[in-house]
Structure 1
Amino acid sequence: MKLSDLILLSIASLAFFYIQLWDEHIVTPLYLSSLAICSLYGFYAKNLNIAHIAGFIFVLNTAAYAVFELGIINDVTPEENKILQSSLIYGVQLFFSLTTVLVLIFRVQLSRVFSNSKSIELIHFDGIFHWVYLYTSLVYFLALLEDLAFVLFDMKSWTLIYDNFEGLIYISWALCCGALLTMMICEAKSNRSGEANAL
């Protein structure tokens, strides 16, 4: 099986798996665990590029998850103010997603702030992850507009994003995990070929 086929199969499998579970209390910890494992693998393999890409995504997603799990949004907004509550719920998610986009675009510069290793460089995979989070940001933005239309203008038929919200986000998480898995496989293959050439 070719590497490209393996990548597509892993992305499709993860997307199918996440969507079948369809419960954010199960899928989100699974996703965060996958990110943590990828980051730890990067440190174990002494590849700071992998460790930092997965680590930055992990930290920002964990922060967003903590905001909602701790009930901070519900604590600061009154129950009866649906517009403020809707704006904060989707707005905070959009903020974290756009922050992730910016962090991933400037990943090399940020990595050099945390480490002075000469191995930190722009890699091919740096051009992938910010697109995944741009897609996620678009989903959050459309969900915000749809919810505001529902609350402000009583447009009850506009529920396309709301009805499919988890699935749309799970697709982006599957793409992210698939790209991380591919990055680790490519790194392991290049290490093996480097060792073979050294012999």
Structure 2
Amino acid sequence: MKFSQLIILTIISIATFYIMVDNPKITLEIYISTIALTACYGAIKKAPNVLHIALILLFVNLVDYIIFAFGIIDLSTAGKNRVLHGSLIYGVQLIISVTSVIILIFRVQLSRILSHSKKIELTYFDGLFHWIFIYLSMIYILAIIELFARHTFGLHSITIIHYNFTSLVYIGWAMSCALLLTMIISTEQKSNLQESDSH
């Protein structure tokens, strides 16, 4: 099996698993745990690029988790203006996602401010992770547009994002997990190659 096929299979498998769990809180906890394990790997292996990318993802997702899991923004729509409440939920997620894009684009510069390690460099993965958050940002924008179309303009038949929102987000998380796995494999291969060259 080719490496690219393995990555696609990983994305499909993780997305399917998340959809089967079908509980955003539990799924996010699993996703955060995966990111935390990657951060631990980066720390143990003294791979600052892996560590810093994982820490950024961990920070972003913990902010999201704290806001929604602890009820800072209540997900219940009972007795609330659906448009205003939905815009608040999707809007906060959009702000977190756009902020993540910016942080990830400038990850190397940020890493160099936080650490003086000579190993900090622009990696192949720096050019990929921010695309996941661009994808998620598009989902949040479409969700807001659909929300207004349904509840302000009476177009109740438009429910593509509404009924598939969690699955679409899970696909983003699955892509992120696949990239984290690929990053670990790539780091291991590079480390093994350097060890064999030194002998």
| TM-score of the aligned structures, taking structure 1 as reference length | 0.94
2:92 corresponds to: 92
Structure 2 matches for 1:18-33, cutoff 5 A? 18-33=18-33
- Any gaps of 5 or more consecutive residues in structure 2? none
Q: In the alignment, what sits opposite 1:15?
A: 15
Q: Which residue of 2 aligns with 1:187?
A: 187
Distance 1:103 1:176 in 2: 16
Q: Give the percent of matched residue pairs that are identical in Structure 1 and Structure 2.
A: 45
- CA positional deviation for 1:198: 1.1
Q: 1:78 Cα shift?
A: 9.5
Rounded to whole Å, the distance in 1 between the matches of 2:98 and 2:129 is 12
Deviation at 1:83, TM superposition (A): 2.6
Q: Which runs of 4+ in 1 moved over 6 A?
A: none
Long gaps (5+) in structure 1: none
Q: How far apart are 1:79 and its partner, in Å? A: 4.0
Alpha-carbon distance change, 133 to 27 in structure 1, aligned in 2, over 3 angstroms: same
CA distance in 2, matches of 1:19, 1:118: 41
Distance 1:166 1:21 in 2: 11
Aligned-residue RMSD, C-alpha: 1.7
Does the 8 Å contact 2:25/2:69 carry over to 1? Answer: no
Aligned residues: 198
1:112 Cα deviation after fit: 1.4
Measure, in 1, the Cα distance between the counterparts of 2:72 and 2:165.
21
Deviation at 1:4, TM superposition (A): 2.5
Whole-angstrom distance in 2 between the partners of 1:95 and 1:79: 25
- Once the two structures are superposed, the pairs formed by residues 114-193 of structure 1 within 5 Å of their partners are 114-193=114-193
TM-score, normalised via structure 2 length: 0.94
Partners of 1:79 and 1:67 lie apart in 2 by: 20
Q: Aligned with 1:173: secondary structure?
A: helix
| Equivalent-residue separation in structure 2 for 1:98 and 1:144 (angstroms) | 15
